[in-house]
Structure 1
């Protein structure tokens, strides 16, 4: 019996597998597709944008450099000042100016090797994660379709044909049409689609008729990507044409002509896929010993690239909590905080998607909203707000503390010797970073030595802090002033890491 079976070997399932494997859990990943590669994951249709929150997650596990290499990107890892973002993105196809981001309004922003946004491809992300999973001893079985799930108080059994796979826990990371979600009986609720979206790689006879980038029109939106023949479209047909049908050349040409207002000719369609803006979420992320993460738990339109990033956030939040539960040192209720923390994030992302769809709708109502939004994102406050949402820096879990840093992703504090907080997190433990002159928290932190890594020394920019306790997912669990309270630290450590170890 494995500790955990994960259904789905996409980025979310593989990231979760790596998190569990890092702690010594026995992990088996079951994937329906027989081969990892797919034209829809490669250039150009597989292009995705990873947010700052996601690149930080790769950085904290020592996977950023291989990901940057696979994506053909380089960064300056030794920058002493946090640079303004080079790219912000868009809201409902309306592009934002990165020069208008008010960096001073981001008080915990410190220099980090992790870029604010990384344009990459799904095949690159999965290749990096698959290599890491293999190093950690994770087993991946491909060509396996789960057909039934049975669970009791002791474990879960996934059935696939004549084969069965037993584990103490099972996690569904098997996408928007999740089999695990259906078999385990999760309630999936939300709103129906307003549009059908398309992405295609084709030959366009008159490409000069199509403006580059995002283009809102009176009948929808089209996107002319930098790669030749790579076109995206959104047609407000109520979601009538979805993935149950294969779009033909004639259909794609008709949609492109309608939403662009041109008479372009489409030929030689090499790849094409469709999607909708259906926005749905499970009411809980756990049913007994079955959990969900990523698109299995929430689906929405891909506007703003929030889907993959939200899923990675799920995996990072769940991984250490499930591992602590498997190893028997999780404090009471720890696993329940997965739904408690991530469900509101998923709900907010769904609303962010719905708001963009409302602004894009053809007709006077959508155009009126566009006018208001353009005015707002033309301001520094408006652009900064959207940047926080797209980068993931807006996320703050309610951990019951009034300290403004607690519940947020930890800034990449850097000690005088050059050691960064992110460097200390590669092994998946929490980190107690003691910035006091006398190493005030050493004795307290060492009581959780196998679960919390202790590091001490003055920082190049301590943000006025004397110490921080960081959970394995990079969230600040506790923060102290120049003379941190040992008892407060120990209470926070016990809350998130269980009882101290007995020497």
Structure 2
């Protein structure tokens, strides 16, 4: 049966668009269905972590993200100027930001940047303040450049699957495709219709996040604040507020968020009766509902992003978790579409991503527990605040939040195996990331070893081979880097006698069998 597309992606937010771009890089015909007619301008995530920044860097998007960050930094400076002009007390630029845990700020000047987990971050470490709306616009432009068919204003209403593919039914007709991926958010239609189990914990909070025009805000505390009735945040951009009340989930998640609702919540949590909200520019409700599907795949239907896991937004992990899903799934699904995927490759998507998703759920649950307006949580916050005033604790939390510790459990004993490949600076002036832009695998030969290079023969466009010199790592003989930037194999110079057999195993595990003629 002729397919209208190799893959249909339901959901045109950042996760769906990132996945579509990864598929298009690998010459997969992909159609994205998005129910909204325009980019969603609702305030959501405000930053990306290290794995996300590295992913965009490896695809050549870092300059655009740096421009977005410059605009975000200017908004923060504007927030400080407005507070000074309004007569707020104690206004000063805070120490370098290294993240937060339940609103407890981590100071960048206490970060031990000599820690090995921060090794070789490269230029990606310089970008982090990227709001979700801006990222979605950049990804939509990139998807268009890559030839992705983004169909806005189209709603998925159902689908039928068989051994040959999926028939997707929409508000604008039906599509025949080989695979369907649900990137359609926490209330995913694809997840529900496919019958994925969704176990987890029920919500206990109602949260609001908004950009508003208001008066009386000079009496609000800047940053995160805890009170006897909940938690609120003010800043780091003009008009941005966030409130958390422990009175159960909202009665109606779909109802428009009004100025009256936000004002009532902010006054209740902050105790500042003088604050008045005159206009809502962007607003959303959220809860701490925390759930995750046990398996991200059911036959020819897969899930990514919030469709596979939901949790509170504390710590800014949601967007980044979804981008990681898209990077991990994209090349594996493309390999399956093109028919060269080794047996079980697609199943490694769940095996690798599910543990990270489970960690994020636990991480956010812990933060909700710390925010509770009761004496035991207050005592624990005091202890944790003291701890995060130390270099060791700040470094521990920053490594967790930034994602630099993320590692897949892959075969091989080298310390780099399973981790994001270090952004090595090569003798010709290029960096490792420059050689990953096309979404292919890379065998980096740092020992000018003809035998090593010969083992990569027969993989064609699946794998590129690069012989280079890296003075910064004289101990390293070679790296095998997957298309998602993960190190699949590494060898130091003294290990060269056993490295080839390990390399053969890694090549076949991730890139299948070489062409017989080669």
Q: What TM-score bracket applies, with the shorter chain setting the length?
A: over 0.9
Query: Out of 139, 148, 169, which is 2:158 matched to?
Result: 148
Determine if the alignment matches structure 1 residue 206 to structure 2 residue 216: yes
1:79 corresponds in structure 2 to none
2:41 corresponds in structure 1 to 39
Query: Out of 458, 471, 491, which is 2:505 matched to?
Result: 491
CA distance in 2, matches of 1:363, 1:285: 37
Determine if the alignment matches structure 1 residue 222 to structure 2 residue 232: yes
CA distance in 2, matches of 1:395, 1:107: 10
Contact 2:41 2:133 in 1 (8 A): no
Determine if the alignment matches structure 1 residue 56 to structure 2 residue 54: yes
Query: Out of 123, 133, 143, which is 1:123 matched to?
Result: 133
Contact 2:65 2:127 in 1 (8 A): no
> Secondary structure of 1:193's partner?
coil
Query: Out of 18, 30, 50, which is 1:27 matched to?
Result: 30
Does the C-alpha gap of structure 1 residues 328 and 394 become closer, same or farther in structure 2, counting only changes over 3 Å? same
CA distance in 2, matches of 1:201, 1:161: 33
CA distance in 1, matches of 2:96, 2:120: 15
Q: CA deviation at 1:375?
A: 2.5
Alignment of 1:5-20 (within 5 A): 5-20=8-23
Query: Out of 402, 410, 420, which is 2:431 matched to?
Result: 420
1:176 corresponds in structure 2 to 186
Moved more, 209-218 or 166-175: 209-218
CA distance in 2, matches of 1:311, 1:5: 17
Determine if the alignment matches structure 1 residue 482 to structure 2 residue 493: yes
Q: CA deviation at 1:259?
A: 1.0
Q: CA deviation at 1:489?
A: 1.0
Contact 1:52 1:116 in 2 (8 A): no
CA distance in 1, matches of 2:213, 2:340: 58
Moved more, 410-419 or 369-378: 369-378
Q: CA deviation at 1:245?
A: 3.1
> Secondary structure of 1:493's partner?
helix
2:270 corresponds in structure 1 to 260
Contact 1:194 1:277 in 2 (8 A): yes
Alignment of 1:126-137 (within 5 A): 126-137=136-147
Q: CA deviation at 1:438?
A: 4.2
CA distance in 1, matches of 2:328, 2:400: 18
Contact 1:204 1:264 in 2 (8 A): no
Moved more, 320-329 or 398-407: 398-407
Q: CA deviation at 1:116?
A: 5.3
Query: Out of 388, 391, 407, which is 1:396 matched to?
Result: 407
1:453 corresponds in structure 2 to 464
CA displacement 1:27-54 (0-9 Å, x = unmatched): 0111111223x431xxxx3551011111
> Secondary structure of 1:114's partner?
helix
Moved more, 396-405 or 51-60: 396-405
Q: CA deviation at 1:111?
A: 4.7
CA distance in 2, matches of 1:237, 1:24: 50
Does the C-alpha gap of structure 1 residues 117 and 219 become closer, same or farther in structure 2, counting only changes over 3 Å? farther
CA distance in 2, matches of 1:440, 1:56: 31
Does the C-alpha gap of structure 1 residues 162 and 47 become closer, same or farther in structure 2, counting only changes over 3 Å? closer
Q: CA deviation at 1:478?
A: 0.7
Contact 1:202 1:266 in 2 (8 A): no
Determine if the alignment matches structure 1 residue 101 to structure 2 residue 111: yes
Moved more, 131-140 or 100-109: 100-109
Determine if the alignment matches structure 1 residue 163 to structure 2 residue 161: no
Moved more, 125-134 or 14-23: 125-134
With normalisation by structure 1, the TM-score equals 0.93
Alignment root-mean-square deviation, CA: 1.9
> Secondary structure of 1:402's partner?
coil
CA distance in 2, matches of 1:198, 1:278: 14
Determine if the alignment matches structure 1 residue 299 to structure 2 residue 299: no
Q: CA deviation at 1:152?
A: 0.6
CA distance in 1, matches of 2:44, 2:254: 20
> Secondary structure of 2:233's partner?
strand
CA distance in 2, matches of 1:463, 1:196: 54
Alignment of 1:462-481 (within 5 A): 462=473, 464-481=475-492
1:78 corresponds in structure 2 to none
CA distance in 2, matches of 1:136, 1:182: 30
CA distance in 2, matches of 1:398, 1:227: 39
CA distance in 2, matches of 1:195, 1:241: 11
Query: Out of 429, 441, 445, which is 1:430 matched to?
Result: 441
With normalisation by structure 2, the TM-score equals 0.91
1:3 corresponds in structure 2 to 6
CA distance in 1, matches of 2:144, 2:13: 14
> Secondary structure of 1:171's partner?
strand
- Structure 1: give runs of 5+ residues left out of the alignment: 76-84
Contact 2:214 2:275 in 1 (8 A): yes
- Structure 2: give runs of 5+ residues left out of the alignment: 74-94
1:80 corresponds in structure 2 to none
Moved more, 9-18 or 431-440: 431-440
CA displacement 1:296-345 (0-9 Å, x = unmatched): 10111111110000000000000000000001110000000000100111
Does the C-alpha gap of structure 1 residues 342 and 214 become closer, same or farther in structure 2, counting only changes over 3 Å? same
Does the C-alpha gap of structure 1 residues 70 and 204 become closer, same or farther in structure 2, counting only changes over 3 Å? closer
Does the C-alpha gap of structure 1 residues 258 and 378 become closer, same or farther in structure 2, counting only changes over 3 Å? same
2:333 corresponds in structure 1 to 322
Q: CA deviation at 1:470?
A: 0.7
Does the C-alpha gap of structure 1 residues 108 and 250 become closer, same or farther in structure 2, counting only changes over 3 Å? closer
> Secondary structure of 2:57's partner?
helix
